[in-house]
Each structure stands twice: as C-alpha cells, then as structure tokens.
C-alpha cells in the first residue's frame, strides 16, 4: 500500500483512539481480531514481534509450569508495544473505510456487552432493561455490527425477560427476532414501573410469526400480499399479580386444588369479584392515555397467559377474549376496558383452564396472565365495523372429504366478518372449508347444498349501538359498495348461484350467498396463506395454525401456535356378519380411523325429547348433568351421544357444554334426526374440536334417518336407565338423559366401535 494511503489509515485510527477514550481497549481488540481473521497476521506473530522489540528471546525450551495456563498475561510495557504494532499492521493492511467498519463493530460489541450485562441479571426490572435496549438501538442501527454468536446470546436473554421463558419457543425465536426488533414490544408495554413481567404466549406467537413472515421468511413472488400486525399494546404479566394483591384475591389461587364441581359452582361469583376489582392508579392513567391515543376505534382485549400457545399446551379457547366497540364517553370507554381486562384475569381460575392444566401436569405452575389490547382489524361499513374476511389456517388438514386432498397441504376455515364464527361452535351456520390442495374443491355439490352449507350470519360491531351483533347479509349490505364483496359472495338468480363478473355496486339490491368462490379461484390469497403456513412450519419445525383477518389491504396475523396433532390411529377393519340386533349404529361419512373397545357406559341425550324442551334453564341443566356424569364416570369407559352440535353457543342446537364437561368421554357422537333442527357441523378447526384432538376424543356425526344407516333406537329407548342411581338429584331428567350400563343390558357384553377413515365407515356393535 502507498505511503500516503498508509498515513490516511493511520490518521483515521488515531482519531478514533483520541475521540473515544472509553473504547480504546475494545478498538485495539477488534483491530487485532480483524488482522487475525482477515489479513493472516496472527496474534502469535504480533506477540513475537513485541518480544523482539523488547530484545527478549522466546525460551521455547523452558519447562512449562503445570499450574500456569498456556496463554500469557501481558505486562504494561508489552501492552504498549503490542498496541503500537496493531496500529502499524492495520495502517498497512486496511483502508480508511475498513477502519470505519472495524470501529463500528468495536463500538457495537461494547454496547452489546453493556446490554448483555444487564440482560443477564435474573431480577432486572423491565424498565431498566428497556432503557438499556433503547440506548443500544439508538447507538447501533442493528445488531449486525456484532458477531452472530454474541447477538444470539443477547437475543435469548431478551426473549426470556420480555417475551417467554419456554425453551421450545426460545429455540425458534432466537433465529428470527433481532435485538432491536424488541423495541416495539418495549415501547408498547404497560406494567409496573419496577415490575418484572412478560407479554405472554399469545402475544409471543403472534409477534414471532410476523417477524418470520415479514422480515426473515422465505419469499414467493406468486403468493404476494402484505402481511401486517394489528396495532397492539401489551399488559405485562406482573400487572396481573399486582391486581390480585391489590384486591385481596390470592385466596382464589387455591381454586385449582378444589374438586371440579366446586370450581364450576364458584366461578360465576369469582368472575363478579374480579370484574369489580380496582387497578393501580398508575395503570389507570396509562390506559386513559392509551384510549385517548386510539380514539374510538373498536378494540379487542385478548388473553396472553405465560403458558398459552406453547408447544404441547395450546389452551385453545380456554381463556377469554372480549370485543369492545369502544364508543361513548371517555369514562364509559375506560370502565369497559378495565372490566374486560379484569374478566380476562378471572378466566385464569375457570374450570376449563384448570382442568386443562391438571391433565398436562401444569397445575402447580405459577400461571400468570398477560393481556393483548389490539385494534380490531376491519373496515367501517355503514354503522358497522368488521373485517372483510377472517379465519383460521392449519398446516395439516385432518378433514379430507376427497382422496384428491393431501393432508400436508393445509386447510382454511373462512368467514366474512369477525373471525369468531371460524373458531367457535356457532348456531345453524357454516364457515367455508377450504383444502389448500385444491382451494376450489368443496365438500358439497350442487347449488342447493352450497346454499344450505354456506355462511348465513355475519358477526359485526355495531358502532351506533355500541355492541356486538350478528346480521344476515341482507341486513348488513346496503347501497354502498362493500370491499371485495365480489370475491366473497355469489349472486342468486333464477334459482342458481352465479359468480359476479365485476364489482357489486349496490349489494343491498342483490340476493347473495357467501361462497368465497372468486376469492378461492381467482386471487392469490389462498397461495399466500399456504405459503405462510409452509414458511412458519419450516421455522417452527412443526405444523402450525394461524388466525388471520383482512381489512381490504393487508392480511393481519392475529395468532400463531404449534398445531395440535391427532394421534396416528390405524384404520380399523369393519367387521362383517354382525347380527343386526348386536349393532348400535353405523356411520357412512366424516369418519376418523381408530378403534375403541370395551365401552361400559352410553350416555344418550334423546334428540327428540331435547327438542321438545322449551325451558332455557332446563336445557342448561342437561349440560350440567353431562358434566356431573363426566366427573362420576371419570375412570370408566363411556361415550356421549346427543343432539346436533355439542358445545354450540346456541342451546337449541346442541347441549351447552365446555371442555371440562366432556373431557373423559372416548367418543363424542352428534346425532341429527330429520324431525329435529340439528345438523352436525364439520367442526374441524374450532376451539372445541381442538380440545377433542388434544384429549384423544373421537368425533362422529350420526344421521339415523339416512338410507343404509343402522340406528338401534329401540335399544336406547327400552334399556334400563341408570341416571337415577348415579345422580339421584337429577332423576326428573331421566326421560331425556339416559345412562346405559352396557354389560347389564347385554348379558355381559361391552360396546366396540370400529372406524375406517379411508372407506368412511364406522360400526358400533356389542361383543
């Protein structure tokens, strides 16, 4: 290198050493590392040269003291010489621009070390660590100025402090969330000034998925659509503990050790106590400021417990999420927000999450609740607010209605409006089920069935009335165009469904059916969602499910978690030549694979008698009876048979039960009689169905009045009922709720159920 160039480089080095005295050691060290790794000037060469300058000979023959290390500590004179040599070599071998880069790395490593020192403290406050993170990100544009191994160590420490301490999550997140990516989490977090809390599992999964897809995921030009996060604010888990302490609620921690029936009975009272609890004034002030910033946009308050959405513990639907229209006076909006937060806190001591934790040996874990406050994704249309469409997507499709469908291509449950109808078991309604193998392939054939099994109701937020509502398309749509409506609906004319050619300018004047035909056949959205599932599954090393919503511009990621896998059951051989009198029922479609043997009890809710009950409270009581039988027969093999949609939010279409009421059954059978109003829904993808999958419970729809289906109604009607013996206080319901002890009713036989998912057949028989 020319002398002039050497002088320029040397001048650059000396300027940095003079202007940044606190960084001199770091700068010398980084210059030495760069010479060693980039210019083949080894540390040993520089060390030897220093010895020669000091007129010292290297005594290689001197016996090594076994109590000394092989590396030698420099004395002060040696250090001065070595620093001088580093400057000499660096001036000769690097350009001024390279020196700038080396200094940036030295400075970045220095700041990173300060951040890591704080992040390594086990009980450092959120605020102190957040301030140090902000300082680091203000001085260094990104963690790219420090080596990857050092950056990863810091990322892991930050994930543990801010987001999650679950090892499986950390193992994925450390590769995708960079150091300064934590800034939005820090800046939008609300908690105690000196608190130590995390944002929780649901927030963690959502944020990780966004970073994977938007920043670091693989790209496919054929599947383009902007991916976004809803505007989100995080109430850290330390605030939950403060709320409990401030209101004297610690005694309710012991609810989890009570019998399940006591938990069920106590919970309504506990919810009221929580909902009327007081928050720290500091937090109330923060929430007032947040509401002022957000204005009157609709909000959703979502649970985000520490264990939620983790590997092996999804907690699907176990904790509450509450929509807030967020209209009215500032004080009314504040009280609604505080009440919603408190209600989500109360759900931690509800029967479903407690039972779920018991089953997974998590009952003694100090489960704390973080909370997500988000703007609802959507558009304003007339007096309503709703997403254009929303839904849930799965990497693995366990519901295959055609042999052309591949399990690993994924599945969507898609709805117009709020995604509640995609994840909850609703009344007489159906989401669009989409196989991502062939998005246009439907389970139904013909316009009549397509109309029958299409979405009939849309969940919306009524801004004028400040409440949630469920509307028909005719009630929702007016003369104003609705975004992308032509992709969502088909137009009914002359008894036929037709795909719109162009935009629908006056939707209120058309009769429509929600089919998503154009969306699935003529847009890139299915490919985008399929690609998202592939990228996320590859990053997680595991199938995933995601919840999403679309506002007419971007797909918003609302949730991401490892998908609950059903056990790999082998198809059963359906036995032949079973006498008809030994058969209880047969099923001809929507059948999984597997075998259940030696069933002792049948719990049967008579669909026709249930349909005749007019009293709402009596129908609620039937759900309580099922829960009580579930507890009583916990260690017995039993199946549940009942009308329509188990777990539906419409009590007239199925028995109102929750997970804790049915978790011990081996098979859940949904009976649809033609004389009743019940039609079993393909429930794959709902929170209710996910519960069945995790618990290893088979689900079967049974249509007794179809041709070629066997249904032994006489056995169910005439066999002695054990309900009055097992639960005497519910003897008045013996005509509707039947409990059959199979060995007594069949001279010592038990019930067997063989299921063959490939041939779509199941047979229940006594043996």
Q: Is the dihedral of CA 299, 303, 304, 309 positive or negative?
A: negative
Helices (H), 613-705: 616-632, 659-662, 687-695
- Check whether 587 has a pLDDT greater than 50: yes
Question: Measured between alpha carbons, how far is 222 from 289 in angstroms, rounded to an integer?
Answer: 43
Query: What average pLDDT does this structure show over 669-687?
Result: 62
Which sequence spans correspond to the domains of the chain?
3-58+73-190, 210-376, 384-528, 580-766
Which pLDDT band, with edges at 50, 70 and 90, does 217 fall under? low
Query: What average pLDDT does this structure show over 680-700?
Result: 68
Task: With H, G, I as helix, E, B as strand and everything else as coil, classify residue 286.
Answer: helix
Return the pLDDT at 686: 63
Q: Is 374 left (phi over 0), alpha (psi -120 to 50) or beta?
A: beta
Query: What average pLDDT does this structure show over 350-355?
Result: 90
Percent of the chain with pLDDT over 90: 48
Residue bearing the bigger pLDDT, 445 or 421: 421
Q: What digits encode the pLDDT tens for the residues 500-510?
A: 888 887 888 88
- Check whether 445 has a pLDDT greater than 50: yes
Angle at 160 between CA 154 and CA 162, to 5 degrees: 95
**Minimal CA–CA distance to 390: which of 510, 499, 484, 511?**
484
Return the pLDDT at 62: 43
Return the pLDDT at 58: 45
Return the pLDDT at 426: 64
Residue bearing the bigger pLDDT, 307 or 721: 721
- Contact assessment for residue 723 and residue 738, using Cβ atoms and an 8 Å cutoff: yes
Place of tokens 């026709």: 608
- Check whether 40 has a pLDDT greater than 80: no
Query: What average pLDDT does this structure show over 159-181?
Result: 91
Distances (CA, A) of 542 to 200, 495, 560, 561: 20, 45, 12, 10
Out of 104-113, 285-294, 517-526, 679-688, the most confident range is 285-294
Query: What average pLDDT does this structure show over 559-571?
Result: 75
- Check whether 173 has a pLDDT greater than 50: yes
**Minimal CA–CA distance to 347: which of 306, 318, 367, 323?**
318
Q: What digits encode the pLDDT tens for the residues 733-754?
A: 999 999 999 999 999 999 999 9
Place of tokens 């000396």: 14
Return the pLDDT at 141: 56
Query: What average pLDDT does this structure show over 278-300?
Result: 96
Task: With H, G, I as helix, E, B as strand and everything else as coil, classify residue 476.
Answer: helix
Residue bearing the bigger pLDDT, 411 or 388: 388
Which pLDDT band, with edges at 50, 70 and 90, does 8 fall under? confident
Return the pLDDT at 73: 61
Return the pLDDT at 640: 96
Query: What average pLDDT does this structure show over 297-315?
Result: 88
According to DSSP, residue 455 is labeled B
Out of 74-78, 193-197, 534-538, the most confident range is 534-538
- Check whether 427 has a pLDDT greater than 70: no
Return the pLDDT at 629: 96
Question: Measured between alpha carbons, how far is 574 from 560 in angstroms, rounded to an integer?
Answer: 38
Return the pLDDT at 23: 80
Query: What average pLDDT does this structure show over 499-526?
Result: 88
Question: Measured between alpha carbons, how far is 40 from 34 in angstroms, rounded to an integer?
Answer: 9
The CATH homologous superfamily for domain 210-376 is ATP-grasp fold, A domain (3.30.1490.20)
Other C-beta atoms closer than 10 Å to the C-beta of 581 total 9
- Check whether 61 has a pLDDT greater than 50: no
- Average pLDDT over the chain, rounded to an integer: 86
Residue bearing the bigger pLDDT, 699 or 298: 298
- Check whether 674 has a pLDDT greater than 80: no
- Check whether 438 has a pLDDT greater than 50: yes
Residue bearing the bigger pLDDT, 422 or 249: 249
- Check whether 216 has a pLDDT greater than 80: no
Place of tokens 């929430």: 287
Return the pLDDT at 249: 94
- Check whether 347 has a pLDDT greater than 90: yes
Residue bearing the bigger pLDDT, 25 or 685: 25
Percent of the chain with pLDDT over 70: 91
- Check whether 416 has a pLDDT greater than 90: yes
Question: Measured between alpha carbons, how far is 577 from 583 in angstroms, rounded to an integer?
Answer: 11
- Check whether 693 has a pLDDT greater than 50: yes
Out of 14-28, 202-216, 220-234, the most confident range is 202-216
Which pLDDT band, with edges at 50, 70 and 90, does 645 fall under? confident
Residue 529: both structure tokens together = 């969602």
Query: What average pLDDT does this structure show over 189-197?
Result: 86
Residue 320: both structure tokens together = 């509450």
Q: What digits encode the pLDDT tens for the residues 42-53?
A: 877 887 787 777
Which pLDDT band, with edges at 50, 70 and 90, does 760 fall under? confident
Q: What is the 3-state secondary structure (H, E, C) of 586-634?
A: EECCCCCCEEEEEECEEEEECHHHHHHCCCHHHHHHHHHHHHHHHHHCC
Query: What average pLDDT does this structure show over 136-161?
Result: 79
- Contact assessment for residue 552 and residue 658, using Cβ atoms and an 8 Å cutoff: no
- Check whether 474 has a pLDDT greater than 90: yes
- Check whether 695 has a pLDDT greater than 80: no
């Amino acid at each position: 290198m020319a002398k002039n160039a050497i002088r320029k480089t040397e001048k650059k080095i000396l300027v940095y050493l003079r202007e940044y005295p606190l960084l001199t050691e770091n700068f010398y060290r980084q210059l030495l590392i760069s010479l060693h790794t980039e210019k083949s000037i080894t540390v040993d060469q520089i060390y030897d040269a220093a010895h020669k300058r000091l007129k010292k000979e290297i005594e290689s023959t001197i016996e090594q003291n076994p109590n000394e290390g092989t590396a030698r500590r420099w004395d002060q004179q040696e250090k001065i010489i070595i620093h001088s040599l580093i400057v000499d070599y660096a001036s000769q071998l690097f350009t001024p621009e390279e020196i700038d880069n080396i200094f940036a790395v030295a400075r970045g490593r220095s700041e990173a070390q300060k951040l890591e020192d704080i992040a390594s403290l086990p009980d450092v406050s959120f605020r102190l660590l957040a301030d140090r993170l902000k300082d680091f990100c203000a001085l260094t544009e990104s963690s790219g100025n420090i080596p990857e191994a050092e950056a990863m160590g810091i990322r892991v420490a930050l994930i543990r402090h801010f987001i999650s301490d679950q090892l499986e999550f950390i193992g994925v997140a450390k590769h995708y969330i960079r150091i300064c990516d934590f800034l939005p989490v820090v800046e939008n977090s609300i908690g105690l000034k000196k608190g130590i809390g995390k944002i929780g599992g649901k927030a963690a999964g959502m944020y990780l998925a966004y970073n994977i897809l938007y920043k670091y995921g693989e790209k496919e030009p054929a599947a383009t659509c902007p991916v976004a996060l809803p505007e989100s604010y995080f109430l850290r888990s330390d605030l939950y503990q403060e709320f409990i302490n401030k209101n004297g609620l610690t005694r309710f921690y012991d609810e989890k050790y009570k019998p399940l029936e006591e938990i069920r009975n106590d919970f309504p009272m506990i919810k009221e106590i929580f909902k009327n609890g007081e928050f720290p004034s500091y937090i109330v002030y923060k929430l007032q400021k947040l509401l002022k910033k957000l204005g009157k946009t609709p909000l959703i308050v979502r649970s985000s417990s520490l264990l939620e959405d983790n590997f092996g513990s999804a907690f699907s639907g176990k904790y509450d999420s509450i929509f807030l229209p967020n209209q009215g006076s500032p004080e009314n909006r504040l009280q609604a927000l505080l009440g919603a937060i408190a209600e989500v806190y109360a759900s931690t001591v509800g029967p479903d999450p407690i039972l779920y934790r018991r089953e997974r040996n998590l009952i003694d874990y100090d489960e704390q609740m973080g909370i997500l406050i988000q703007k609802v994704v959507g558009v304003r249309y007339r007096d309503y607010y709703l997403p254009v469409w929303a839904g849930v997507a799965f990497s693995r499709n366990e519901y295959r209605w055609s042999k052309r469908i591949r399990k690993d291509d994924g599945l969507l449950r898609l709805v117009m409006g709020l995604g509640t109808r995609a994840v909850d078991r609703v009344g007489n309604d159906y989401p669009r089920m989409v196989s991502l193998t062939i998005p246009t392939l439907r389970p139904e054939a013909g316009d009549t069935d397509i109309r029958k099994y299409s979405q009939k109701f849309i969940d919306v937020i009524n801004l004028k009335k400040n409440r949630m509502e469920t509307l028909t398309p005719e009630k929702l749509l007016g003369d104003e165009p609705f975004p992308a409506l032509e992709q969502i609906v088909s137009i009914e004319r002359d008894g036929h469904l037709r795909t719109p050619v162009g935009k629908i300018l006056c939707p209120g004047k058309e009769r429509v059916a929600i089919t998503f035909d154009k969306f699935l056949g003529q847009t890139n959205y299915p490919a985008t969602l399929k690609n998202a599932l592939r990228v996320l599954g590859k990053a997680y090393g595991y199938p995933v499910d995601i919840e999403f919503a679309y506002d007419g511009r971007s797909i918003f990621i609302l949730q991401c978690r490892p998908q609950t896998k059903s056990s790999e059951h082998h198809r059963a051989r359906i036995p032949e030549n079973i006498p008809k009198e030994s058969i209880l029922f047969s099923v001809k479609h929507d059948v999984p694979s597997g075998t259940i043997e030696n069933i002792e009890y049948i719990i049967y809710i008579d669909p026709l008698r249930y349909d005749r009950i007019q009293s709402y409270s009596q129908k609620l009581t039937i759900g309580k009876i099922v829960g009580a039988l579930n507890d009583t027969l916990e260690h017995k093999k039993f199946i549940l048979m009942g009308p329509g949609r188990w777990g539906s939010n419409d009590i007239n279409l199925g028995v109102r039960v929750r997970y804790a009421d049915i978790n011990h059954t081996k098979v859940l059978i949904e009976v649809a009689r033609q004389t009743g109003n019940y039609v079993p829904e393909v429930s794959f993808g709902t929170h209710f169905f996910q519960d069945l999958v995790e618990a290893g419970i088979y689900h079967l729809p049974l249509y007794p009045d179809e041709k070629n289906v066997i249904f032994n109604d006489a056995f169910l009607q005439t066999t002695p009922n054990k309900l009055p013996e097992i639960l005497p206080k519910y003897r008045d319901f013996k005509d509707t709720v039947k409990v059959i002890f199979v060995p007594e009713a069949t001279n010592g036989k038990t019930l067997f159920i063989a299921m063959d998912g490939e041939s779509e057949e199941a047979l229940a028989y006594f043996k």
